[in-house]
């Protein structure tokens, strides 16, 4: 087993607001091998995006990483200075966002924006920068890329804009890309195209990817492993196929059951009762307990991660085949 490119251990990112401490990320651990794609799934407000920003050291005040470790290619990121961290962003780890209209600057050409991203890490002549940018755009599937460098973001369609953003994120062939719901704002057909293109690119370049999504169906077709987040922590993780076939955590089971594909046509979709708890007033013990059909007295304690055969779950009363009670 080779050293993972990204190793996250007990990461805690808290926001110190006037109303209290919001534990947006509260003890997240996972690792990512070269070229591996991990799906990070959960409802809105479960801490997926904050996890992504924490990896890049881009948590805005009043939030900050209070504990834990993020190791990228063997370097600890959480203790790095601002400049050292900046020199790694974009070069070793980069991020793409949900809404490509909002991420690109409407007043600069694509070429200018790509040049800025190149200049951040390398000294290249204008010519070489253009060549590199055009090559990258071609790779993400933008036709007549060299001419498009002079175009502005509003001259592209939504899908094309997201490809441009992906091209910018890939310019320096980073080891890890955090993709924060990059296809959610797009048409379904374009979504599929970009999904498979990203998968191929990751395989080609050896870039590992964290694909953040609330949509289990999208992620499961892409990622080789899944991490399910709930209320700031990963409640279950493991290989995608195993997790989908045989979930352990009742929350994962609920997510899978609520997929439209699993419902018989004409019948209402299954829902998980209740709503995501406010991170300001989490119940003691398992945060999912109030919504859980399996909750018992034991659930007043915080369950730890049970690890077994490459997978893990945080639950006292796991569901599914061969489920063993472990306390």
Partner 1 sequence: MLGFIIQRFIQAVLVMAVMSVIVFFGVYAIGNPIDIVIPPDATQEIRAEAIRRLGLDRPLYEQYYYFITNLLQGDLGRSFVYNMPVLELIGGRLPATLELVLISVISATFLGVSLGIYAGYRPDSWVSKTIMAVSVLGFSVPSFWVGLILILFFAVNLGWLPAGGRGETVEIWGVAWSFPTLNGLSHIVLPAINLALFKLAMMIRLARAGTREIMLTDTIKFARAAGLSESTILRRHLLKLISIPIITVFGLELGSTLAFAVVTETIFSWPGVGKLIIDSIGVLDRPVMVAYLILVAFLFVSINFVIDLLFALIDPRVRQGAVA
What is the contact surface with partner 1 in residues (CB under 8 A)? 53, 56, 58, 60-61, 86-91, 94-99, 102-109, 116-117, 119-121, 152, 154-155, 165, 168-169, 171-172
Q: How far is the CB of 45 from partner 1 (least distance, A)?
A: 18
Cβ proximity to partner 1: between 55 and 226 the closer is: 55
* Of residues 1 and 61, the one with the C-beta less far from partner 1: 61
Residues in CB range of 64: below 8 A, 6 or more apart: 13, 14, 16
If the CB atoms of residues 80 and 282 are measured against partner 1, the closer one turns out to be: 80
Within 10 A of 309 (CB to CB), how many other CB atoms are there?
8
C-alpha to C-alpha distance for 93 and 51, rounded to whole angstroms: 14
User: Among 40, 34, 25, 41, which Cα is nearest to 78's?
Assistant: 25
Comparison of 211 and 288: residue with beta carbon closer to partner 1: 211
Closest approach, Cβ 95 to partner 1, in A, equals 4
CB-nearer residue toward partner 1: 140 or 228: 140
What is the DSSP annotation of 210-234?
Answer: EEEES-HHHHHTT-SEEEEEETTEE
**Cα separation, 273 vs 295, whole angstroms:** 13
Least separation in angstroms between residue 230's CB and partner 1 is 25
Closest CA to 6 of 29, 31, 25: 31
Order across the sheet with 6-17: list the strands: 20-32, 6-17, 63-72, 75-76
**In the complex, least distance from residue 110 CB atom to partner 1, rounded to whole angstroms:** 11
Contacts 24+ apart (CB under 8 A), 158-161: 158/100, 158/101, 158/185, 158/186, 158/187, 158/190, 159/186, 159/187, 159/190, 159/193, 159/194, 161/100, 161/101, 161/104
Query: Beta-carbon neighbour count of residue 214 at 10 Å?
Result: 16
Identify the sign of the CA torsion 111, 116, 117, 122.
positive
Residue 281 has φ and ψ, to the nearest 5°, of -135, 65
Complex with partner 1: residue 39 or 90, whichever CB lies closer: 90
Quote the least distance from Cβ 168 to partner 1, whole Å. 6
> CB-wise, 79 or 105, nearer to partner 1?
105
Closer of 151 and 244 to partner 1 (Cβ): 151
């Amino acid at each position: 087993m080779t050293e993972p490119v990204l190793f996250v251990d007990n990461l805690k990112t808290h926001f110190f607001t006037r109303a209290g401490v919001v534990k947006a990320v509260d003890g997240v651990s996972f690792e990512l091998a070269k070229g591996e794609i991990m799906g990070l799934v959960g409802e809105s407000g479960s801490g997926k995006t904050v996890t992504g920003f924490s990896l890049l050291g881009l948590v805005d005040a009043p939030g900050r990483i209070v504990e834990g470790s993020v190791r990228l290619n063997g370097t600890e990121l959480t203790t790095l200075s601002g400049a050292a961290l900046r020199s790694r962003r974009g070069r070793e780890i980069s991020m793409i966002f949900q809404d490509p209209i909002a991420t690109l600057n409407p007043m600069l050409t694509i070429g200018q924006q790509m040049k800025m991203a190149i200049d951040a890490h390398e000294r290249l002549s204008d010519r070489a920068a253009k060549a590199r940018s055009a090559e990258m755009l071609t790779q993400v599937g933008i036709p007549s890329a060299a001419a498009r460098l002079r175009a502005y973001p509003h001259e592209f369609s939504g899908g094309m804009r997201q490809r441009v953003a992906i091209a910018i994120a890939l310019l320096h062939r980073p080891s890890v890309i955090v993709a924060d719901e990059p296809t959610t704002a797009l048409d379904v057909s374009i979504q599929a195209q970009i999904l498979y293109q990203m998968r191929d690119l990751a395989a080609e370049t050896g870039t590992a990817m964290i694909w953040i999504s609330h949509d289990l169906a999208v992620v499961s077709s892409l990622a080789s492993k899944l991490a399910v987040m709930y209320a700031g922590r990963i409640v279950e993780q493991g290989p995608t196929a195993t997790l989908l076939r045989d979930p352990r955590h009742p929350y994962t089971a609920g997510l899978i059951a609520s997929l439209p594909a699993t419902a018989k046509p004409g019948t209402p979709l299954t829902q998980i009762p209740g709503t995501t708890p406010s991170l300001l007033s989490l119940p003691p013990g398992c945060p999912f307990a109030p919504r859980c059909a399996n909750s018992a007295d034991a659930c007043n304690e915080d369950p730890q991660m049970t690890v077994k055969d490459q997978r893990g779950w945080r639950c006292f009363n796991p569901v599914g085949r061969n489920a063993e009670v472990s306390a």
